[in-house]
Structure 1
Amino acid sequence: MSTTRLLDFVAALSSVLIVCIVYTHINTKDCVEFKSISLQERAVIWMVNAVIFGIVLLISYKTLSDVWNRHRYQEENNELQSKIEILKKRLQEQINGNDDPTPTKDSKIEKNKEESEKKKEFQNDLRNALKNLRSPDVPDIEIPRPHKLKDEFVDLHEKEWTSALKSLKKTTQSEDMSIKMLLQTLRDIYSSCCKYSNDEKEEAMQSLLTHNTGDNVAKRKLNEQQMMAEVCKQQNKSTTRAIEEIKKSVFDRNPELVRNHHWTEYVERSVKICRSMSIQSKPMLLDFGPEQNANLNSTIFRTYKATGSKVNFVVWPAMILQENRELLSKGIVEPIERNIT
């Protein structure tokens, strides 16, 4: 406050001096002494006044600089002193909380080992909880339930898949090649959605670890419900972005098919369904079937056109609820046709 007042005083004084000097030399009629002197004498007086005024300003500047520097140094010293007091207080708290103020090397190693084990235990608990995604007490994200998704998945095959197949057959693809291409597209989308969802879980886990590690790790209990709510929150926020990014990656890998609007509609709806599957509270799986020449499992797959007991290729995956292996929707395979003699 004193520095500010001193600056205001010097500024006011300087302004008064300047006004007086300028007024004296310009309005000489009010100054009798100036009427009888020559221009040269006036010039000399101007120079003398300028020198005096410069000396006054220089002294004022020096004085103000010293005052300001002392003020600034005092503030820095006060700030450093407060930091020192805080550090002293923390050090005293650590000493008071430790029975042995000068721990030995072995005790330090033992303490670090104990802290490391507690941190690992915490991380394991968190990872185990993440495997279950969300506890029943945490409300589901606003996404379709498993049986509704099953209906959408069946509808996807009957509508968008069928339209895309007809469109591809009209271009350069045979029916078998078109079916395999559409299945591979769905497989890529499903894998991308699962990976995206797992990355979100890892991100949520790291966020929680950041806020729950440090001193006294053992005293912090893993709140599974809060962790599940955080996963829900992360996935809710990123659903739109996830769908757009996965669609773009599929389109970038298949530039020759992007102009086929039947295929793009098939991709867009497949991404939405697979994204919803990957963030369900009860994980849902797609079974893309056995390898070629494997035995046909009629409880999970039905045949497409041919009849036989050996698999030729998979047409459409089966949808399964992971928790109890409940079959929601049968898959479709084209078997190796039996030779009838």
Structure 2
Amino acid sequence: MEEKNKAVKDIDNLKHRLSQIAGSKLTDNNPGIADLSDPNRPLNLGEKFSELYDNQWTDALEEMDSKFKNEKQTIQNLLEIVRELSSLQLKLTKDYRKSMAVHLVSDLEEEFCNGKNDGEHISSYRRQCIRVCWFMAVQDPPVFIDVKENVTGKKFDTDKYKYYTNTGKAFDYLVWPVLYLHKDGPVIGKGVAQGK
């Protein structure tokens, strides 16, 4: 009975994790699908931005206009605040994300390693993958790992790949992905592939 309860609990845990992964893959880089639990999703932010114009902007216009007596200049001053904050905010967000990455990586490791029955070396490999990939993802722009490239049967490109155990003029299969400074950027780490 105890084993059955443990199995049911494990299944529920796996279902929950699978649901989270499926949800994140569905919404990742897909602005057409919104996370309805997020109060700061794009549509809500659009509404808040419109309300900002309708409410605070109008009050600020009246207050600033009473000082400067030039509506056009006042409007330009208010618009400049948005411009400054949007570019500053982008820089600050990127800097903050990068500085917080060090503090968040342990939580990510726990999330992706929890419940795995890996051996010591696989566990260490998994944790180091999470750590290195996380820090690459928070760069501006993110470092790009070409994990989807299908090289099988193509001409072996020694500018991008090192041979695994066999050399040859064509690729047999991918062993390790190529690393680029950013998407469509220069290679910063050669991949490894089996030649044939």
Matched position secondary structure for 2:51: coil
Distance change (3 Å), C-alpha of 1:231 and 1:204: farther
Matched position secondary structure for 1:248: helix
State percent identity of aligned pairs.
Answer: 14
Question: Hey, what's the Cα distance between the residues in 1 that align with 2:138 and 2:152?
Answer: 31
Whether 2:63 is the aligned partner of 1:214: answer no
Match of 1:286 among 141, 145, 151: 145
Are the equivalent residues in 2 in contact too, given 1:320–1:328 (CA < 8 A)? yes
- Corresponding residue for residue 263 of structure 1: 122
Name stretches of at least 5 consecutive residues in structure 1 with no aligned partner.
Answer: 1-187, 337-341
Match of 2:131 among 264, 272, 275: 272
Name the one with the larger helix percent: 1
TM score, norm. by length of structure 1: 0.33
Are the equivalent residues in 1 in contact too, given 2:101–2:135 (CA < 8 A)? no
Matching of residues 191-210 of structure 1 within 5 Å: 206=42
Are the equivalent residues in 2 in contact too, given 1:293–1:311 (CA < 8 A)? yes
> Per-residue CA shift, 1:221-252, capped at 9, x if unaligned?
34212233134435644654455235533554
- Corresponding residue for residue 307 of structure 1: 167
Matched position secondary structure for 1:216: helix
- Corresponding residue for residue 226 of structure 1: 89
Please state how far the C-alpha of 1:274 moved relative to its aligned partner: 0.6
Matching of residues 73-222 of structure 1 within 5 Å: 206=42, 212-214=49-51, 216=53, 220=79, 221-222=82-83
> Per-residue CA shift, 1:100-128, capped at 9, x if unaligned?
xxxxxxxxxxxxxxxxxxxxxxxxxxxxx
Report the aligned-residue RMSD: 3.9
Are the equivalent residues in 2 in contact too, given 1:204–1:230 (CA < 8 A)? no
- Corresponding residue for residue 329 of structure 1: 189
Are the equivalent residues in 2 in contact too, given 1:293–1:312 (CA < 8 A)? yes
Please state how far the C-alpha of 1:211 moved relative to its aligned partner: 5.6
> Per-residue CA shift, 1:111-166, capped at 9, x if unaligned?
xxxxxxxxxxxxxxxxxxxxxxxxxxxxxxxxxxxxxxxxxxxxxxxxxxxxxxxx
Question: Hey, what's the Cα distance between the residues in 1 that align with 2:131 and 2:98?
Answer: 13
TM score, norm. by length of structure 2: 0.54
Are the equivalent residues in 2 in contact too, given 1:247–1:271 (CA < 8 A)? no
Distance change (3 Å), C-alpha of 1:306 and 1:234: closer
Name the one with the larger strand percent: 2
Larger CA Rg, structure 1 vs 2: 1
Matched position secondary structure for 1:294: coil
Please state how far the C-alpha of 1:320 moved relative to its aligned partner: 0.7
Please state how far the C-alpha of 1:215 moved relative to its aligned partner: 5.1
Letter in 2 for 1:310: A
